[in-house]
Amino acid sequence: MSPAKVLRVPHAGGALGRESFRASASPPSGQVGVTGGRAADRRASGNTSTKVSKQRQDSQGHSITVFRGSPPTNAYAWSPFVTKLEARLRLDGLRYTLGGGSPPSAPKGKIAYVEIHHGDSKEILGDTALIIRALISNGDLRDVNATLAPVQWAHDLAVRSMMEDRVYFYGVREKMLLVGWLARRRVTVGLHGPGAGRLTGEEVLTFQEEAWEAVNALLSKARQSVGGDGLFWILGGSEPTEVDATMYGFIVGALVCDAAPVTADIVKAYPTVIQYAERIHERYFPDYQRW
């Protein structure tokens, strides 16, 4: 395993929640660190504190390591889910350490995953959505969606689902086509399941363009709510919500991944989308190399 890298996370007001593709993977079942009941009930009666428990994250022996599947550096990972998780932590000012790791070592066989130390105890969690839920439940992160109205919450969830359950697989398809036939054969079954493997190249391109056009429309509207060089967020509010961490991960993933030039060209065609990412990068990732 590569040596860990400790990150000094810039803290600012505001905060923000399917990982590396695995051909035989099925959607994660169960929940980690979340009590039973409907999502709306959890938002209403769960952890709705507007402050992160600094006592937990600063206490002796409490630490979080994010494993990204590659040696720890100040360069963004190709995986949108790694950047999503890092963004979620940084938007809340939560300190963490980077580790290398690998899918075989991950609890769900995919990147990203985390190792959380509480004194002498250790917990390893996989799937970024479940990791974020667990950290909220533990008081390490704020539940930034807790105060959203039901329609806003549904909007946030719908955009996250569009990116994680559709756009992600379109990107995987493009990467595998460039990597080569042997790699493609290993993921054919997995891509066939969510539908991306059943589509022609033109059909995938059409769906990709539609998705990013929708993202641009949302961000263009949100951009109108701020002046100058201020940060703006997808739902148009004064602070980020869960969808912003996801969106930042996918935008950055598209810009830094050399194996997906078509996706990169689509994203670069939208100045507002790039501006959204640049402002988050400058505020929360100043120690990272820009794309």
163 and 170 in contact (C-beta within 8 Å)?
no
Q: Give all domains of the chain, ordered by start, each with its CATH number.
A: 62-138 (3.40.30.10), 150-285 (1.20.1050)
Report d(CA 141, CA 91) in Å as an integer.
10
Tell me which residue of 254, 20, 243, 23 sits closest to 126, measured CA to CA.
20
Distances in whole angstroms, Cα of residue 115 to Cα of each of 11, 46, 204, 288: 22, 24, 36, 22
pLDDT, position 204: 83
Report d(CA 242, CA 89) in Å as an integer.
11
pLDDT, position 61: 61
**How much is the pTM?**
0.79
| 121-126 β-sheet, strand order | 5-6, 97-99, 62-67, 113-118, 121-126
> pLDDT digit of tens for each residue in the chain (291 aa)?
444 554 544 444 333 334 433 322 333 333 222 223 344 444 444 444 434 444 444 445 689 999 999 999 999 999 999 999 999 999 999 999 999 999 888 998 889 999 999 888 899 999 999 999 999 999 999 999 999 999 999 999 999 999 999 999 888 888 776 655 445 555 554 444 455 456 677 888 899 999 999 999 999 999 998 978 899 999 999 999 999 999 999 999 999 999 899 999 999 999 999 999 999 999 999 999 999
Report d(CA 228, CA 12) in Å as an integer.
18
Report d(CA 88, CA 142) in Å as an integer.
10
**Burial label, 215 (beta-carbon count in 10 A; 0-12, 13-18, 19+):** buried
Report d(CA 113, CA 60) in Å as an integer.
22
Report d(CA 165, CA 20) in Å as an integer.
12
65 and 99 in contact (C-beta within 8 Å)?
yes
* Total length of the chain: 291
Tell me which residue of 174, 201, 173 sits closest to 188, measured CA to CA.
173
Written as one letter, the residue type at 143 is D
pLDDT, position 284: 98
118 and 16 in contact (C-beta within 8 Å)?
no
